[in-house]
Amino acid sequence: MVHSMKLNRLIGILFIAAAVAGTIFSLFGLFEVWYYRPVLTQNVVENLALLDQTLKSTQDGLAIVDQAVQTIGEQVASLQIGTEALAKAMHDSSPVLDSLSSLAAKDLSGAVTSAQTALTSAQSSALLIDNILGTLTSIPFSPVAKYNPEVPLHIALAKVSSSLDGLPTSLAAISSSISASKANLDVVEQQVSKMSETVKGASDNLGKAQEVIHQYQDVTSQLEKRSAAAQKAAPAWITGAAWFITFLLIWFIIAQLGLTVQGLALLREQSAAKQIAPPESSG
């Protein structure tokens, strides 16, 4: 019986101590909640404002990058058109070079050979003419001055024919040079075509990069709107959270009052039991 009374007394004291500690803790919590609510609200609003400013700066940066990529894309597209036109011009000039090479190697060379043949035939006729004119003008008492040119006609024709001797060789060299130029032009045309394909690939990649930039712009725009909305709603959210915590702490204080009542009830029971219990007899 004595041990039971002592246990009830100890439990009652513990209930009352726990209730007092819980009440103090709750009151301190209420003070802290409403003391730091303005500070917390200010910090949250400032951080959200900083986030909003960062998103705006990011949006501006993306706009600059988008403009730069668009400008580069236009330049690359112009370069692609230029390289394609250059390759086409080289391709179209190839038949012209073939014609020029054939003209130099065959047509002009053949014309020179034909001219030299004709000049050779004309030399015989010119020699005959020179001899006839020389004979006719050598007749005594002829009214015509003696035919004695510095360079007879057949010799002049021979000189003309000999002056054409180097043309076939020169025309052959020109034909070879044109053929070599055509071969080099074909190589250059292939390189230009490859460069055009490379430029086209770069243009396609720039287009894809611009699409990604637009997606980033959409995301940052949405985040910016949400950040602005959160910045406006933050004070109300924090105040609502403070009232919710206040409600919980007040509820906890009420619970501590019940615990205090239980502790006092146990102590009253112990006091009543002491008054009822008979005094102990001395041995």
Residue with tokens 């509820």: 251
Over residues 48-58, the mean pLDDT reads 84
- Among 118-132, 142-156, 186-200, the range with the most confident prediction by mean pLDDT is 186-200
Q: Are 14 and 259 in contact (CB under 8 A)?
A: no
Confidence of residue 3 (pLDDT cuts 50, 70, 90): low
User: What is the arithmetic mean of pLDDT over 148-154?
Assistant: 68
Q: What is the mean pLDDT of residues 170-198?
A: 75
Asked whether the beta carbons of 206 and 69 are under 8 A apart, the reply is yes
Residue 35 CA from chain centroid, whole number:
51
Average pLDDT over residues 192-212: 79
What's the rounded mean pLDDT across residues 106-128? 73
Q: What is the dihedral of CA 266, 268, 270, 273, to 10 degrees?
A: -130
> Looking at this protein, which amino acid is placed at residue 238?
I
Contact indicator for 34, 250 with CB cutoff of 8 Å = no
Q: pTM for this structure?
A: 0.51
More confident residue, 229 or 130: 229
Q: Decide yes or no: CATH 3.30.70 for domain 2-276.
A: no
